[in-house]
């Protein structure tokens, strides 16, 4: 099995961090994984994306033409990447900033108000972790425990005080779709 | 020492591997997509009490490495394509002076300033060099983050074993991607440099390292000595990987991170009933000419897949020596050739359209 994800949003929404956490979680689940950022003259307010490829065997390549899952946090990213989702794939969108349109009928759509939930938790900064929670409820091959451990690993000892908020964001995110 | 798997960026992996290999001095100047190497080492080298200089230019950096390795210590610099171009003169000198310089090139697009997106356009620059005279650099091309670690270790070892510069030829894709990798321990023995290193002439006859022979005969002997050494390196150190070669009709050939894409393309082609194999030179210099010649002699065709206008293609063609057909599947710079693109290009090549350039 090889699955690839595109994560995209505004610069500053924590897309690369979310991708890093996801990739770490896959690694902790003993899978092969590659994380690849778009890099270059990116800036706050512009769009950022990264690709995460997970595989039971060797990861074949990054820079794939299409993805199994797109996790998009803003409208520009939705418009850009909805085309790249494989037929039968899924786009998961932050409906706080993305309008709930369905331009294709051969893919699955998950709209969840991630930004709104993050604000309710106290800060829009955790929208990225909320989105990982949502993702964990959509796919069955990443465990919430691995994501939790990955958050711990990535935030490290320096940002220990932020762990409870992020765990809460993950937990609430994973319950969000059931509520919607 | 450290068998834990960590998710790490290629650039950081190279930097930490250099530390583990015992690199005592790093000299460099920032350039995307390899700036993280210098960034990482700027802190770590200070913590470890080793040398770190952010040089005023790439020209200065490589010459600082020459100065440091002249004393027998391990030292390196890292840079990217257009800035590695500035270092060519020094590489010719270091080769002539038989100095164990380690240079990491995380390739970006050229020619000229080019841009920061990844490419593989420095094959010729690394393998054939832009410096003057007859010289050869050992060139290692990793394809995963794990190999960035393994071949950084090997770069230091080979440089000191043969007293010859080594280039680790990575690309922007490898430098920027994160993958799980293990550092383990530096697996090679330490090389004794005491017979030649400039360490102060107290209690011994003074030595000099220089690159000038006014006597023609001496210079001829020197070049012959260098080329005997290159012959030995070629005999001992030529390294490659091959997959599904035995029944293959066409062998996809790539170096560096493109290897991953040809392996994936090979699987797709096999599922379609096309007998495809993979061949990947790991040492670009010394190049596995002999093995390619053997395979070509059995009538196997080649398709070289690379992110440049056909640089390794020429070496494969030279090795094949007319014994079979060689096609080129390429794009100059930017987004790596996708598996689907490679598959359809190979199908065209199988229909004897050998210039299936994308």
Give residue B139's region: left, alpha or beta (phi > 0; psi -120 to 50).
Answer: beta
Q: Give the three-class secondary structure for B353.
A: coil
Residues of B in contact with A64 (CB under 8 A): 338-339
Instruction: Please report the pLDDT score of residue A180 as a whole number.
Output: 52
Mean pLDDT of chain B: 95
Q: Give the three-class secondary structure for A58.
A: coil
Please name every residue paired with B53 in a beta bridge, in sequence order, or none if there are none: B27
State the total domains in chain B: 2
Cα–Cα distance measured from residue B157 to residue B164, given in angstroms and rounded to the nearest whole number: 10
Residue A44 predicted with pLDDT over 70:
no
Instruction: Please report the pLDDT score of residue B334 as a whole number.
Output: 85
Q: Which region among A34-43, B22-31, B200-209, B271-280 has the lowest average model confidence (pLDDT)?
A: A34-43
Closest chain B CA to residue A27:
B180
CB contact under 8 A, A63 and B260: no
Query: φ, ψ for residue A120 (rounded to 5)?
Result: -65, -30
CB contact under 8 A, B261 and A60: yes
pLDDT by residue (tens digit) across B54-76? 999 999 999 999 999 999 999 99
> Which domain does B271 fall in, by range?
241-350
pLDDT by residue (tens digit) across A162-175? 999 999 999 999 99
Burial class (CB within 10 angstroms; exposed 0-12, middle 13-18, buried 19+) of B124: middle
Nearest to A138 by CA among A95, A178, A86, A97: A178
> Tokens 């890093």 correspond to what residue?
A20
Q: How confident is the model at residue B354 (pLDDT cuts 50, 70, 90)?
A: low
Q: Which region among A30-39, A58-67, A169-178, B238-247 has the lowest average model confidence (pLDDT)?
A: A58-67
pLDDT by residue (tens digit) across B82-102? 999 999 999 999 999 999 999
CATH number at residue B281: 3.40.50.920
Q: How confident is the model at residue B159 (pLDDT cuts 50, 70, 90)?
A: very high
Instruction: Please report the pLDDT score of residue A65 as a whole number.
Output: 74
Say whether both B101 and B133 belong to one domain.
yes
Say whether both B233 and B265 belong to one domain.
no
Say whether both B136 and B71 belong to one domain.
yes
Say whether both B260 and B136 belong to one domain.
no
Residues of B in contact with A65 (CB under 8 A): 338, 340
> Tokens 């070496």 correspond to what residue?
B315
Residues A49-67: what's their mean pLDDT?
88
Instruction: Please report the pLDDT score of residue B126 as a whole number.
Output: 97
Q: Which residue, B237, B262, B278, sits at the end of a domain?
A: B237
Pick B260's closest partner by Cβ from A20, A33, A60.
A60
Instruction: Please report the pLDDT score of residue A64 as a whole number.
Output: 75
CB contact under 8 A, B260 and A23: no
Instruction: Please report the pLDDT score of residue B3 as a whole number.
Output: 84
Answer yes or no: is B316 within a domain: yes
CB proximity B12 to A under 8 Å: no
Residues of A in contact with B176 (CB under 8 A): 36-37, 39
Say whether both B138 and B271 belong to one domain.
no
Say whether both B249 and B274 belong to one domain.
yes
Rg (CA), chain A: 15
CB proximity B39 to A under 8 Å: no
CATH number at residue B13: 3.40.50.970
User: What are B39's two structure tokens?
Assistant: 């960034």
CB contact under 8 A, B340 and A20: no
Answer yes or no: is B286 within a domain: yes
Residue A9 to chain B, least CA–CA distance (Å): 19
Residues B28-41: what's their mean pLDDT?
96
Say whether both B290 and B170 belong to one domain.
no
Give residue B352's region: left, alpha or beta (phi > 0; psi -120 to 50).
Answer: left
Residue B356 predicted with pLDDT over 70:
no
Say whether both B171 and B245 belong to one domain.
no
Residues B341-352: what's their mean pLDDT?
90
Q: What is this structure's pTM?
A: 0.95
Query: φ, ψ for residue A114 (rounded to 5)?
Result: -65, -45
Say whether both B180 and B272 belong to one domain.
no
> Tokens 């803003």 correspond to what residue?
A74
Pick A63's closest partner by Cβ from B116, B179, B335.
B335
Give start and end residues of each alpha helix (H) in chain B.
10-20, 35-47, 58-69, 81-84, 88-96, 123-127, 145-162, 172-176, 216-237, 258-271, 289-297, 311-320, 339-350
Closest chain B CA to residue A50:
B177
Closest chain A CA to residue B264:
A60
Pick B179's closest partner by Cβ from A33, A40, A60.
A33
Say whether both B99 and B60 belong to one domain.
yes
Preferred mutation among A7, A26, A60, A155 to probe B, highest tally of B CBs within 10 A:
A60
Cα–Cα distance measured from residue B79 to residue B88, given in angstroms and rounded to the nearest whole number: 12
Q: Provide the ipTM.
A: 0.92
**Could you tell me the CA-to-CA distances from B305 to B19, B65, B172, B278 in Å, in that order?**
33, 34, 17, 11
Residues A54-65: what's their mean pLDDT?
84
User: What are A138's two structure tokens?
Assistant: 């959509």
Closest chain A CA to residue B108:
A40
User: If one looks up domain A2-179 in CATH, what number appears?
Assistant: 3.40.920.10
Pick A61's closest partner by Cβ from B33, B172, B339.
B339
pLDDT by residue (tens digit) across B252-267? 999 999 999 999 999 9
CB contact under 8 A, B336 and A36: no
User: What are A150's two structure tokens?
Assistant: 């990955």
Say whether both B93 and B17 belong to one domain.
yes
Instruction: Please report the pLDDT score of residue A46 as a whole number.
Output: 80
Say whether both B320 and B261 belong to one domain.
yes
Answer yes or no: is B216 within a domain: no
């Amino acid at each position: 099995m090889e699955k690839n994800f595109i994560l995209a949003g505004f610069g500053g929404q924590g897309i690369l961090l979310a991708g890093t956490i996801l990739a770490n979680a896959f690694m902790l689940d003993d899978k092969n994984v590659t994380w690849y950022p778009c890099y270059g003259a990116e800036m706050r307010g512009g769009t950022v994306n990264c690709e995460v490829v997970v595989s039971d065997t060797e990861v074949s390549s990054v820079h794939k033409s299409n993805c199994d899952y797109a996790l998009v946090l803003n409208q520009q990213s939705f418009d850009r990447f909805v085309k790249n989702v494989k037929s039968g794939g899924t786009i998961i969108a932050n409906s706080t900033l993305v309008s709930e349109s369905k331009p294709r009928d051969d893919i699955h759509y998950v709209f969840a108000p991630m930004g709104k939930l993050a604000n309710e938790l106290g800060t829009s900064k955790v929208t990225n972790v909320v989105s990982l929670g949502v993702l964990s409820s959509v796919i069955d091959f990443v465990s919430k425990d691995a994501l939790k451990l990955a958050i711990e690993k990535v935030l490290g000892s320096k940002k220990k005080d932020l762990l409870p908020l992020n765990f809460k964001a993950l937990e609430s995110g994973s319950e969000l779709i059931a509520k919607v | 020492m450290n068998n834990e798997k960590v998710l790490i960026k290629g650039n950081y992996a190279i930097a930490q591997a250099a530390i583990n290999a015992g690199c005592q001095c790093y000299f460099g100047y920032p350039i995307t997509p390899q700036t993280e190497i210098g960034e990482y080492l700027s802190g770590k080298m200070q913590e470890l009490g080793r040398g770190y200089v952010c040089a005023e230019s790439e020209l200065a950096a490589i010459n600082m490495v020459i100065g440091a390795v002249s004393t027998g210590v391990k030292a390196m610099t890292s840079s990217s394509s257009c800035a590695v171009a500035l270092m060519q003169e020094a590489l010719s000198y270091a080769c002539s002076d038989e100095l164990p310089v380690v240079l990491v090139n995380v390739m970006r697009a050229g020619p000229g300033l080019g841009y920061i997106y990844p490419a593989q356009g420095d094959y010729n620059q690394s393998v054939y060099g832009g410096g003057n005279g007859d010289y050869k650099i050992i060139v290692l091309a990793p394809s995963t983050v794990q190999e960035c670690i393994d071949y950084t270790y090997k770069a230091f070892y080979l440089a000191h074993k043969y007293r010859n510069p080594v280039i680790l030829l990575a690309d922007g894709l490898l430098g920027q991607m994160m993958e799980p990798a293990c550092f383990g321990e530096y697996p090679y023995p330490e090389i004794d440099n005491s017979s030649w290193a400039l360490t102060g002439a107290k209690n011994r006859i003074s030595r000099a390292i220089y690159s000038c022979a006014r006597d023609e005969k001496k210079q001829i002997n020197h070049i012959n000595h260098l080329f005997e050494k290159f012959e030995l390196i070629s005999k001992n150190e030529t390294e490659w990987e091959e997959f599904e070669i035995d029944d293959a009709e066409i062998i996809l050939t790539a170096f560096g991170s493109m290897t991953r894409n040809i392996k994936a393309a090979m699987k797709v082609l096999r599922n379609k009933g096309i007998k495809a194999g993979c061949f990947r030179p790991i040492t670009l210099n010394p190049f596995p000419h002999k093995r390619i010649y053997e395979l070509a002699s059995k009538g196997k065709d080649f398709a070289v897949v690379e992110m440049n206008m056909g640089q390794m293609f020429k070496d494969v063609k030279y090795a094949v020596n007319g014994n079979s057909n060689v096609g080129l599947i390429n794009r100059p710079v930017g987004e790596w050739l996708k598996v689907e693109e490679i598959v359809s290009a190979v199908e065209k090549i199988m229909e004897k359209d050998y210039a299936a350039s994308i």
